[in-house]
Amino acid sequence: MSLCSYETLKKLLFKLDPETAHTLAGFGLKSVVHFPVLLRYFAKKNFVTDPMLEQKLFGRRFKNPVGLGAGFDKDGEYITAMPTMGFGFTEIGTVTPKPQDGNPKPRLFRLIQEQSIQNAMGFNNKGKEYMLKQLDKLYFFDYPVGINIGKNKMTPEKEALNDYEILFNAFKAYGDYIVINISSPNTPGLRDLQNEQFIKDIFAMAKRITDQPVLLKIAPDMTPEDAIALCHTAVEAGAAGIIATNTTVDYSLTPNAKDFGGISGALLTQKSYELFKAIGKELYGKTLLISVGGIDSAEEAYKRIKAGASLIQIYSMLIYRGPALIKEINEGLIDLLKKDGYSHISEAIGADHR
């Protein structure tokens, strides 16, 4: 889909309630899967693969470093369609042990002037059993998939480990990596789990249950010192990587913000980059780093890569820019790598810290 044609579609989608528009987009993605000719056409049109961008991570081949961030495909229903949009990998979820409706509506808002999104979804999903059924359909599908897991809203904080234990056991034979989500602002008390003891306990438990790479996703609202300390604790406890960052509750970023939920998109760009850069300075070379938060161009993606990111993820900016953004970033990365005299993305990863 060209940027021009998406601008036309966006005008129609933006006349709808944001959550309705999301559901409609998901229906389109599920539908295209039933038409192999369309799958091949869009994959050929949008998917960028080049030896300069290919990496082997978690024992899997990532043909390009641009992935879909968690939150869009909450139930693993669109995995097969993701290559048609150009994504080199996808992350599904957040999935919880039991199905839950999430927070009351309205809970998803466009900040159009700021090219941002504010959401208070609250881990709405159909639960682990439904997700497992979706994953079982992918037996012959060779594509990197991460699984983002979280606790149910009604699970008390002191019993949170039990929920994660259920999920580790459920998904230990699925996907290519698992992400511990304790950084969403939309489940009461969840961010309180971003503490040293819980991190040690959950990674110790994960190691007992699964051989899957397990990553930690952190919030952008900590000080760099606290974030770095937390990430060090996670890596020492067995984390295979860090994903930074989730949405922000810094409502001072715009006078148009609601006083609840998390903000993503362009408003998060600088905040996410600064925290990621600080983390990269300390942890590049010690663990795998993934950057997410307001990435809207090849130049911004390249900044994150030079700051230490092996992979980057987008979500909210996709809503404003459309699928053409994915191809634009990948092709732009190739040009930027060549401009700096690099023959492979691995030479640019962490360049700011070498």
Q: Is 121 annotated as a binding residue?
A: yes
Q: Which string of b and e fits 172-193 if b means at least 16 CB within 10 Å? A: eebbbbbbbbbbbbbbeebbeb
Tokens for 141? Answer: 């599908």
Contact 1, 322 (CB under 8 A): yes
Q: Residue with structure tokens 């406890």?
A: 237
Q: Is 256 annotated as a binding residue?
A: no
CA separation for the pair 341, 51 (Å, rounded): 15
Closest to 292 (Cα-Cα) out of 127, 45, 120, 90: 90
Q: Residue with structure tokens 């438990």?
A: 205
CA separation for the pair 235, 230 (Å, rounded): 9
Q: Is 181 annotated as a binding residue?
A: yes
CA separation for the pair 339, 318 (Å, rounded): 26
Q: Residue with structure tokens 């992400």?
A: 179
CA separation for the pair 80, 90 (Å, rounded): 10
Residue 125 phi, psi dihedral angles, 5° rounding: -165, 170
Q: Is 186 annotated as a binding residue?
A: yes
116 is catalytic: no
Closest to 354 (Cα-Cα) out of 278, 285, 290, 276: 285
Q: Is 148 annotated as a binding residue?
A: yes
Of 184, 264, 272, 310, the catalytic one is 184
Q: Is 152 annotated as a binding residue?
A: no
Q: Is 246 annotated as a binding residue?
A: yes
- Residue numbers in the known binding site for substrate are 74, 119-123, 181, 186, 246-247
Positions annotated as catalytic residues are: 184
- Residue numbers in the known binding site are 70-74, 94, 119-123, 148, 181, 186, 217, 245-247, 265, 294, 315-316
- Residue numbers in the known binding site for FMN are 70-74, 94, 148, 181, 217, 245, 265, 294, 315-316
